[in-house]
Amino acid sequence: MTQLDRSALQARNILLAMFVLLCILDVALVVIARDKWAIGRILLTIVVMYFVIQGRKWAKWLLMSLCSLLVVALIAMIFALGSKLSTILIVGSAILAVLSAAIAIYMATNKDLNRYFLYKRQVHFQ
């Protein structure tokens, strides 16, 4: 790969690091909240991320949509149930919302990451 491709790989690695952090925090909050249904959402997100890394355009848009929906749901939950939630769940949910928004924005705006996705699509269809 050329020097230009190294910046694309670095952008991919940053996305993966943010995603792993998101998953770790999400699992921790699920364990604290004892919400077993959220495990399915986490697994779905991991599967979609696999396809994102493969360069699938539909998966990129689906993951950005899931992250955006998560932001809205978490903020709504904080406002609706704030008095019934523990401080750890409120702070963790707020951090998770910010991280989800950061992932969606990063995927939509980072040119190096978009170049990585384009490269993966070209390799896949050759």
Q: What is the pLDDT of residues 59-68, one digit of tens each?
A: 999 999 999 9
CA distances 30 to 93, 119, 121, Å, are: 10, 36, 34
Does residue 26 sit within a domain?
A: yes
DSSP 51-89: HHHTT-HHHHHHHHHHHHHHHHHHHHHHHHHTTTS-HHH
Q: What is the pLDDT of residue 1?
A: 46
Region 14-33: what's the mean pLDDT? 92
Higher-pLDDT residue of 6, 4: 6
Burial class (CB in 10 A: 0-12, 13-18, 19+), 41: middle
Q: What is the pLDDT of residue 86?
A: 83
pLDDT at 11 over 60: yes
Q: What is the pLDDT of residue 4?
A: 54
Range of the domain at 83: 3-120
* Tally: H helices and E strands in the chain: 5, 0
Q: How many domains does the chain have?
A: 1
Does residue 125 sit within a domain?
A: no
d(CA 42, CA 49): 10
Does residue 126 sit within a domain?
A: no
Interval 46-87: pLDDT, tens: 999 999 999 899 999 999 999 999 999 999 989 998 788 888
* pTM summary value: 0.86
